[in-house]
Amino acid sequence: MIRDITIGQYYPANSIVHKLDPRVKLFATLLYIIALFVYKGLAGFILITGFLILAVKMSKVPLKFILKGLKAIVVLLVITASFNLLLTPGEVTFFKWGVFQVSDTGIRTAVMMMIRLIYLIIGTSLMTLTTTPNQLTDGLEKSLSPLNRINVPVHAIAMMMSIALRFIPILIEETDKIMKAQMARGADFDHGNIIQKAKAMVPILVPLFVSAFRRADDLAMAMEARCYNGGTGRTKMKPLKYTASDRVAYLVIIGFLAAVILLRIFVPYFG
């Protein structure tokens, strides 16, 4: 049940995408998101779809596994789509009731928004699925290191992020365990109205918070015991190094964004 959450989880496989430098993947994800919000017209859409399918295929992550991540945002998708659909005025109005109306522009923006959100989740989860949390933060730290000069604590931020990511599966497992323990004591999470359901969460949340604080305490202690004192002078066991395929990937992704922009300027038709 709760194990189904795939956002922020790593899927081990031996693929080109997995082996890319995390900085490349971060940069690529950023450009991909820009492309998603820049594109206009059918041609751009086809290009982005093709790019996404290619990336998923190369990553060797089963599509089923990626799509599972979408389950978590179904509610968000429905809300966004219905707001766009019902509240956008347009040239042709099909249906009107009070402030609500269904228009051609409304339908178009609703569909576009859905596609953007779905693609956004698929693209970003592809990055987290193919990059271990450690690589991810290493990449982030290195990419943001210029900010150190203006006194941004980049290392501390990266460390916090890696710890947060690392703890997601642990906390999920813990929640699963506590849920089972309370179910064994007759707790019922599925029935009753919304207030009863919220109340039923207390026996899970209290132990979960207690254990999260305990873990945080233990971790801080363990880090101090190993003389952790922040980023200055700290060396890496596996320093990041670009390879030939990383350079190719940079070119491909920059070319991709350029193509999306060009298509927007020259063929912004349909959709």
Report the C-alpha gap between 169 and 166 in whole angstroms: 7
Q: Which stretch binds another protein (CB under 8 A): 6-14, 38-46, 222-230, 232-240?
A: 6-14
- Look at the chain and count its residues: 271
Interface mask (CB under 8 A) for another protein, residues 119-158, using x and -? Answer: ----------------------------------------
Name the token pair of 157: 């931020």
CB of 183 to another protein, least distance (A): 6
Interface mask (CB under 8 A) for another protein, residues 59-98, using x and -? Answer: ---x-xx---------------------------------
Judged by CB under 8 A, the residue of 80, 132, 175, 182 near another protein is 182
Output 18 or 23, the one with its CB closest to another protein: 18
Name the token pair of 268: 């912004």
Residue 177 as a binder of another protein (CB under 8 A): the answer is yes
Judged by CB under 8 A, the residue of 181, 221, 223, 254 near another protein is 181
Residue 236 as a binder of another protein (CB under 8 A): the answer is no
Helix (H, G, I), strand (E, B) or coil at 146: helix
Report the C-alpha gap between 148 and 242 in whole angstroms: 22
CB of 210 to another protein, least distance (A): 7
Judged by CB under 8 A, the residue of 57, 71, 180, 247 near another protein is 180
Q: What is the DSSP string of 105-130?
A: HHHHHHHHHHHHHHHHHHHHHHHHHH
Judged by CB under 8 A, the residue of 74, 75, 99, 184 near another protein is 184
Using a 10 angstrom Cβ sphere, with 0-12 exposed, 13-18 middle and 19 or more buried, the burial of residue 117 is middle
What angle (nearest 5°) sits at the alpha carbon of residue 22, between those of residues 20 and 249? Answer: 45
Report the C-alpha gap between 54 and 259 in whole angstroms: 16
Closest CA to 145 of 160, 131, 135, 155: 155
Output 10 or 119, the one with its CB closest to another protein: 10
